[in-house]
Amino acid sequence: MEPIPASDLSLIALQAELRATAYQALSRLGQGGMGDVFEVEHRSLRRKLVMKLLREPNRPDLEDRLRLEAQALAQLAHPNLLQVIDFAHTSAGRPFLVTERLYGRTLKEEVGLTGTLATHEAVSFTCQALAGLAAAHRAGVVHRDIKLDNLFVCQGDDLTPRHVKVIDFGIAKLVGAEGNAAGVSVDPLAVPTAEGIMVGTPSFMSPEQVTSQLVDHRADIYGMGVVLYRLVAGRNPFICRDLIEYAAAHASELPEPPSRFATLPPGLDAVILRALEKQPADRYASAKEMIDALAPFASARTSAPAIAPAPRAPAPEPQVDARPAALATQVLTASSLSAPAARTTQRMAASLAGHAPWNAFSTVQQAVAPRARSTMTGIEIVALVVAATSAGAIVWFALILLGIL
């Protein structure tokens, strides 16, 4: 996102609101449905950070969500998760969340509208995001809004390759820690999300989300399946016009294998389609299990680039002269073939076994209906031979036929 000039009125207002805090505003990076995103600098540490600021004060429901995101992420230390630095309020009472400053772009920006990534790169980014989600899931945090916009590709350098971080846990759900893992400790929501409310992004939502059923970490597995499908196929599993169509598709339609739209290594279809199973119990049981399933496709040496295959051309037709081809059409629609002519055909087949031009004629002959083969005339046989063989074979056939007739 391009920084917005310092003359922006919202930036000037924020600078005044932050006067009593540890941060000073530098530029506005973008905006969302609930608030704005700014680049800020810590006054003492001179560290550049990002501030997510709610646009409206006195919104307990939105502040609840921002606080939960801050408290949950602050307790999750993982290289593939966004690092939270602070949560506080401006002098005007607006809550804000401060995170590390990331440099790079989202996966959505990385692939554009219809682009793809090389298979090994798509798998690598997917596994990195899954690793971050695995840490969140162990602590009982379900993201619920996995999509290309919420996976950020950080710039690399000579020592560190490009890597992905999962961002924006704004509609995360707490479901309890897994096994003996320590769960995050957050204050309860003052305004809990109402039951039966559809939460997420329609094109990436799991079947249980679109049908307002109980959601757990396997909803994120489904979302990552959609992400990987998009990265290698250049399109989502379902292309719909509105929320209702997406809900119906995710709930009941079977997606086409992604290899229908791109060249993929064998076996990758099965991995992606398992992540997209309608029933959570049929998907991977954990993010770690999906990472293990993707491991064979992570190498640049063993995985094919995810490029759209060339349109499949129909099988080439035998190259024949137009005039005998017209006669051949009559042969294929004929309704009579004499017994002597049938015997002649058999003799020709025996004589020409292994001769290349005969193969084309044999293929055509096999396509003739059994009844037609029993009633064709000798002249029509000649027409069929002329239509299905090369010029040299035609001369050879003519000599044989002259000896017979």
Tell me the domains of the chain and their CATH numbers.
9-100 (3.30.200.20), 104-178+195-297 (1.10.510.10), 322-404 (no CATH)
Per-residue model confidence as pLDDT tens for the chain (405 residues): 445 554 576 788 899 999 999 999 999 998 877 889 999 999 999 999 999 999 888 888 899 989 999 999 999 999 999 999 999 999 999 999 999 999 999 999 999 878 999 999 999 999 999 999 999 999 999 999 999 999 999 998 888 899 999 999 999 999 876 655 667 777 776 666 655 567 889 999 999 999 999 999 999 999 999 999 999 999 999 999 999 999 999 999 999 999 999 999 999 999 999 999 999 999 999 999 999 999 999 887 655 544 444 443 333 333 333 333 333 333 333 333 344 444 444 444 444 343 333 333 333 334 333 434 444 455 444 444 444 444 445 444 444 555 544
Fill in the DSSP letter of residue 283: S
Which helix H or strand E contains 163, and what residues bound it? strand 163-166
DSSP letters for 80-140: TBPPEEEEEE-TTS-EEEEEEPP-EEEHHHHHTTT---BHHHHHHHHHHHHHHHHHHHHTT
Answering whether pTM is above 0.85, one says no
Cα separation, 112 vs 231, in Å, equals 10
The strand pair at 163-166 and 173-174 is best described as unpaired
Cα separation, 84 vs 90, in Å, equals 17
Of the residues 8, 36, 64, 145, which is catalytic? 145
Cα distances (angstroms) measured from residue 325 to each of 50, 316, 359, 374, 384:
73, 15, 17, 21, 8
- Clarify whether 145 is annotated catalytic: yes
Which of helix, strand or coil describes residue 159? coil
